[in-house]
Structure 1
Amino acid sequence: MLMAALTGLLIGSVMGLTGAGGGILAVPALVYGQGWSMQQAMPVALLAVTAGAVAGAAEGFAKGLVRYRAAMLMAAAAVIPTWTGVWLAGRLPQATLMILFAAILAGVSLRLWRQLSQPACDEEQRALATINSATGRFVWNWKTGGLMAGIGSLAGLMTGLLGVGGGFIIVPMLRHFTNLTIHGAIATSLFFIAMVGTLGVGSALAHGASLPLAFSGGFVIATIAGMLAGRRLVHHLPARRVQQGFALMLSLVALSLCWRALGT
């Protein structure tokens, strides 16, 4: 139980700081820490990530940061891909899932390092979807709707297939393709994770997954506590340092998973 509490605190803190990374780190942590398979770890990880996201999204709503229409459109677009991902996860070999997971981690890490090395640019000029400065909300048109649906579909597939919340896709894509602030992107991502994670957990249970109640309960409580702590810390830490640490952590986890997969 101590390991569950410590792992949950770490996962929740990363989610609170970045709006992403909870599921990315939770699944490998359970695979290594508990000796579980990817299939065993996924539903427990997703349950904890979803619970943490609910707590973070509630705070985002209270501060007016959640772009709920965008999150709801992304969540609607994610329904079928999430179910598809769960179906695929039950039929892929363990080593294949590990290598796929490691490849995605490496890709996200590379993208984060590239963002850090690029000079700042005008977000308004590059944005495919923009925020109305007067209302703080997205300007809705077909391009905005298509972008949100595309982001949601990809995030949903990863949620079902790998047991992750999708925030590691949503936050970077919202920041790259829109002029939404980092705090708005994190809060919107957490609301999406709360909705789609609930679907993912239900889908996993419907496909025969089991949740060890005592361990899962402790893991969930610790993740929520870590999330709330992370949300308070994020305003006191340099965003660049947080991104550097997150990118380095993803790189190390990806290498470790590759080593384990190739050794099985």
Structure 2
Amino acid sequence: MIGTLALGLLVGLVMALTGAGGGVLAVPLLVFTTGLAVQEVSPIGLLAVGLAATLGAALGLRAGQVRYKAAMLMGFVGLLLSPLGFWVAQRVDTKVLGLAFAAVLLWVAFNAFRSSGNSELNVIDAPPDAEKSKCPCIRNPVTGRFIWTWPCARALIFSGATAGFLSGLLGVGGGFVLVPALQRFTNLTVQSITVTSLAVIAIVSSFGVLNSMNAGAFNYEIGITFSAAALTGMLGGRLVSDKLPTPHLKKAFGAMCLVVAGLMLIKNLA
């Protein structure tokens, strides 16, 4: 029980500080602490990540930082692809899913370390109209809203589809896909990227949780404990997120992903 609470706090804190990585860390860590298979802990991770993301997105929406139309587009596409990922997960060996998780964690760690050295992405209070001439999604300098074009919509659809499929396949929120995608395809500030990512995660996570509950495959005792701790971690992280240097946060997150990836490789190759 104590281990589940500690992991939930960690996941909520990671989501608050980075907008990504909560789900990708939640599932493998739950596998180690509970002894359950990836397929069994995936809906627990999704519930915790989804609730924490909903809270973070609501706070961001109140602050006017969520690009809600973009989040709805990505979330809707993600919901369409999530059932496909879930269907594949039920037909894949547990060890194969574990190795897939390790590969994802290694990619996330690489991306975290790479972006930690990018000064442009580390300026938390970067001006909203910062020049990114090659981005397909540019905001109107007057209204602050996206200037919608087909390249912009296409980039967001692809991002949402990828996050949705991985959500169904691995039980992750997809923030580790959404945050780098929004950094690459938009000229949003870091705060806006974080909370917009959380809004998409909140939408996409709903399918996996509801589907698992309907199938009677959800462990309510672990799920409720873990989710409550994740919400607490999210609230605590929001209080300190603006006071911590982004490069250090990314490096710490990348190091965590490397450690967990190594443990997953050992577990599934042994």
TM-score range, shorter chain: over 0.9
Aligned mates of 1:205, 1:83 — CA distance in 2: 14
- The residue aligned with 2:124 is none
* Structure 1 runs, 4 residues or longer, greater than 4 Å off: 118-123
- The residue aligned with 1:96 is 96
CA contact (8 A) 1:43 1:209 kept: no
- Indicate the RMSD between aligned Cα atoms, in angstroms: 1.5
Aligned mates of 2:71, 2:235 — CA distance in 1: 21
Structure 1 position 136 matched with structure 2 position 144: yes
**Where do 5+ consecutive residues of structure 1 fail to align?**
none
Per-residue deviation, 1:215: 2.2
Per-residue deviation, 1:203: 2.6
Which amino acid letter does the alignment assign opposite residue 194 of structure 1? A
- The residue aligned with 1:184 is 192
Q: What whole-Å deviation, never above 9, does each CA across 1:108-166 have from its counterpart, x for those lacking one?
A: 21122222345649751231211222222211111111111010000000100000001
**Where do 5+ consecutive residues of structure 2 fail to align?**
122-129
Identity in percent? 39
Candidates 254, 257, 262, aligned match of 1:247: 254
Pick closer, same or farther for the CA change 1:97–1:55 going to 2, 3 Å. Answer: same
Which amino acid letter does the alignment assign opposite residue 214 of structure 1? E
Is the partner of 1:139 in helix, strand or coil? coil
Matches within 5 A, 1:67-78: 67-78=67-78
Aligned mates of 2:86, 2:193 — CA distance in 1: 26
Aligned residues: 262
Is the partner of 1:252 in helix, strand or coil? helix
- The residue aligned with 1:19 is 19
CA contact (8 A) 1:12 1:225 kept: yes
Matches within 5 A, 1:52-131: 52-118=52-118, 120=120, 123-131=131-139
Q: What whole-Å deviation, never above 9, does each CA across 1:178-214 have from its counterpart, x for those lacking one?
A: 11111001100111111111122123334x3522222
Structure 1 position 29 matched with structure 2 position 29: yes
Is the partner of 2:166 in helix, strand or coil? helix
Which amino acid letter does the alignment assign opposite residue 125 of structure 1? S
Per-residue deviation, 1:107: 1.1
| TM-score for the superposition, normalised by structure 1 | 0.95
- The residue aligned with 1:169 is 177
CA contact (8 A) 1:40 1:209 kept: no
Higher mean displacement: 116-125 or 30-39: 116-125
Pick closer, same or farther for the CA change 1:209–1:90 going to 2, 3 Å. Answer: farther
Which amino acid letter does the alignment assign opposite residue 59 of structure 2? E
- The residue aligned with 1:218 is 225
